[in-house]
Amino acid sequence: MATSMRRANRKLTGGRYNSSDRSKRKKELNRFPANTKIAETVKSKSIRACGGNLKHKLLAGNSVNVVDKKGKSKKTIITTVVENAANPHLVRRNILTKGAIVETKLGKAKISNRPGQEGCINATLI
């Protein structure tokens, strides 16, 4: 059965909402997280989004576009995930999310985009 991102049919008190007698819509479909990992080969997947647009999910990758304090950007390799404020268990599994601090060849960098929804990894040097 498909999972939905729609509001539940029941209120916290146990009563029902008035407009709860309809089926699920495709636009309300929920998807599993990408859980972008560090890997030698780049794996990505394109998914149809709302309005016929494409959403590019990055499933695995090892290169990151790093911007330094002067505004110059370089492409470098990710070594490991050092810290993640979202969930400490993501550090052990080397999963890349927005806000994660990674070790690169240029130094530590903080990921500034959402790799599971944008198809690339951007970061700023700390």
What token pair was written down for 78? 């990710």
Is the residue at 71 inside a domain? Answer: yes
Q: pLDDT tens for residues 67-110?
A: 999 999 999 999 999 999 999 999 999 999 999 999 999 999 99
For the cut 90, the answer to whether the pLDDT of residue 19 exceeds it is: no
Is the residue at 108 inside a domain? Answer: yes
Is the residue at 25 inside a domain? Answer: no
3-state secondary structure of 119: coil
Beta pairing partners, 50:
none
What token pair was written down for 117? 């929804």
Query: Residue 9: what pLDDT?
Result: 86
Query: Residue 126: what pLDDT?
Result: 92
Q: What is the tally of structural domains in the chain? A: 1
Query: Residue 4: what pLDDT?
Result: 86
Query: Residue 102: what pLDDT?
Result: 97
Is the residue at 15 inside a domain? Answer: no
Residue of higher predicted confidence among 22 and 114: 114
Question: Which domain, by its residues, includes 85?
Answer: 33-125
Q: What is the CATH number of the domain that holds 52?
A: 3.10.290.70
Is the residue at 87 inside a domain? Answer: yes
Q: What whole-number distance in Å separates Cα of residue 64 and Cα of residue 38? A: 11
Is the residue at 24 inside a domain? Answer: no
What percent of the chain is modeled with pLDDT above 70? 98
Is the residue at 20 inside a domain? Answer: no
Give the angle subtended at the CA of 101 by the CAs of 97 and 106, to the nearest 5°.
Answer: 120
Q: pLDDT tens for residues 20-65?
A: 678 888 888 888 899 999 999 999 999 988 899 999 999 999 999 9
